[in-house]
Amino acid sequence: MFQILQNGLNIALVTDAGTPSISDPGSYTVSKLIKNGVVVSPIPGPSAVSCLASVAGIPADNYIFGGFFPRKEMQAIEMLKKMTPLSMPIIFFESPKRIKQTLECINDNFKGAYCIVGKELTKIYETIFYGSPEEILATFTDDMLKGEWCFMVSLPKEKTAYNPDFLNQACELGLSQSQIGSLVKTLGWNKKDVYNYVINYKKDH
């Protein structure tokens, strides 16, 4: 496949089950192409939502459509925090006047987020950006902002709160800090919070 593309030819990814990459393994193919610098363009469909999902390069068999991104920052942060535990990418529409502000909001409040940002999908000036909000913002120029925007954001998973009773017992059994750290790593607990708790527990006991 890559040899054909390197020779300057085009390849179409088609399926008999609807838009590719949404309910089939097409996202794996799209991901490989993107990582190898191949331009992937969606075929015009019923909505910019399905178009963007089909070229996202991440699993999109489940996703959330959030409509237009909230105008108020605190409202946006609260909404995204509620959606984070669902572990699904979220797709939004955004205006050209607010796309930079929106990506700055995500960048400031959700470190580790990954975005796919599409402008003028299926039109002559179609442009698709992949990366962290910070990386995408670095490529923006004022003359690029005109047009219709749609973006997908995959939020970083929140660290689960630790269990004090578990940590108390681990300390009482004489486990070292590194041993406790190895145990809780598989539980997804916040490493810094666990470290501080164990240090304080051992000081008091």
Q: At 86, which CATH number?
A: 3.30.950.10
Q: Are residues 129 and 191 in the same domain?
A: no
Residue 159 maps to a domain: no
Q: Are residues 105 and 190 in the same domain?
A: no
Band (pLDDT 50/70/90 cuts) for residue 74 is very high
d(CA 57, CA 52): 10
pLDDT surpassing 90 at residue 12: no
Stated pTM of the model: 0.69
Q: Are residues 150 and 189 in the same domain?
A: no
Residue with tokens 């192409």: 33
Band (pLDDT 50/70/90 cuts) for residue 134 is very high
d(CA 41, CA 122): 7
- Dmax (CA) for the chain in angstroms is 70
113 close to 151: Cβ distance less than 8 angstroms: no
64 close to 91: Cβ distance less than 8 angstroms: yes
Q: Are residues 178 and 150 in the same domain?
A: no
109: which residues sit within 8 A by CB, 6+ positions away?
Answer: 77, 80
pLDDT at 189: 79
Band (pLDDT 50/70/90 cuts) for residue 151 is very high
Q: Are residues 96 and 19 in the same domain?
A: yes
47 close to 79: Cβ distance less than 8 angstroms: no
pLDDT surpassing 90 at residue 140: yes
Total number of domains in the chain: 2
Q: Which two tokens stand for residue 15?
A: 């399926």
User: Residue 172: which domain range?
Assistant: 164-204
